[in-house]
Amino acid sequence: MSQVSCPVSIEFFPPKSPEGAAKLRGVRQALYVLKPEFCSVTYGAGGSTQDGTFTAVRDIIAEGQQAASHMSCIGATKASMRANLAQLKAMGVKRIVALRGDLPSGYGAGGEFTHASDLVAFIREETGDDFHIEVAAYPEIHPQAKSPEADLQALVTKARAGANSAITQYFFNSDAYFKFVEEADAKGVHIPIVPGIMPITSSTQLLRFSDACGAEIPRWIRLRLQSYGDDTASIKAFGLDVVTDLCEQLRVCGAPALHFYSMNQSEPILEISKRLGLLDA
Ligand code: FAD
User: So what's the pLDDT on residue 69?
Assistant: 98
Q: What is the pLDDT of residues 67-121, one digit of tens each?
A: 999 999 999 999 999 999 999 999 999 999 999 998 776 666 678 999 999 999 9
2 pLDDT above the threshold of 80: no
Q: What is the pLDDT of residues 111-150, one digit of tens each?
A: 899 999 999 999 999 999 999 999 999 999 999 999 999 9
Residue 1 confidence class, pLDDT cut points 50, 70, 90? very low
24 phi and psi, to 5 degrees? -65, -35
The domain made up of 8-276 is a member of CATH 3.20.20.220? yes
User: So what's the pLDDT on residue 4?
Assistant: 54
User: Average pLDDT of 179-206?
Assistant: 96
Q: Point out the ligand 1 atom lying closest to the alpha carbon of residue 143.
A: 9
Q: Tell me, what amino acid is at 46?
A: G
Q: Where are the domains of the chain?
A: 8-276
User: So what's the pLDDT on residue 46?
Assistant: 75
Name the percent of the chain in helix, strand, coil, to the closest 5. Answer: 50, 15, 40
Q: Point out the ligand 1 atom lying closest to the alpha carbon of residue 150.
A: 11
**Ligand 1 proximity of 121 Cβ (cutoff 6 Å):** no
Query: Are 277 and 1 a contacting pair, CB within 8 Å?
Result: yes
**Ligand 1 proximity of 150 Cβ (cutoff 6 Å):** yes
DSSP letters, 96-113, are EEEE---PPTTS---SS-
Residue nearest to atom 30 of ligand 1 (CA): 42
User: So what's the pLDDT on residue 205?
Assistant: 86
**H helices present in 38-147, as ranges:** 50-62, 78-91, 116-127
Identify which of 96, 100, 107, 263 to mutate to test ligand 1's pocket (most ligand atoms within 8 A of the CB): 100
**Ligand 1 proximity of 99 Cβ (cutoff 6 Å):** yes
> Which pTM does this prediction carry?
0.97
Q: Give the least confident one: 4-8, 33-37, 57-61, 174-178.
A: 4-8
Residue 156 confidence class, pLDDT cut points 50, 70, 90? very high
C-alpha 35 to ligand 1 mean position (Å):
28
C-alpha 140 to ligand 1 mean position (Å):
13
**Ligand 1 proximity of 42 Cβ (cutoff 6 Å):** yes
Task: Give, rounded to a whole angstrom, the gap between the first and last alpha carbons of the chain.
Answer: 14
Task: Report percent pLDDT > 70 for the chain.
Answer: 96
Rounded (5°) CA angle 217-220-221: 50
Average pLDDT, the chain: 94
What order do you get walking across the sheet with 193-194 strand by strand?
193-194, 165-168, 132-137, 95-99, 67-72, 39-41, 8-12, 258-261, 196-197
User: So what's the pLDDT on residue 107?
Assistant: 63
State the burial class of residue 41 (Cβ atoms within 10 Å of its Cβ: 0-12, 13-18, 19+). buried
Residue 281 confidence class, pLDDT cut points 50, 70, 90? very low
Q: Which residues are catalytic?
A: 11
User: So what's the pLDDT on residue 110?
Assistant: 73
Q: What is the pLDDT of residues 193-232, one digit of tens each?
A: 999 999 999 998 898 889 888 899 999 999 999 999 999 9
C-alpha 66 to ligand 1 mean position (Å):
24
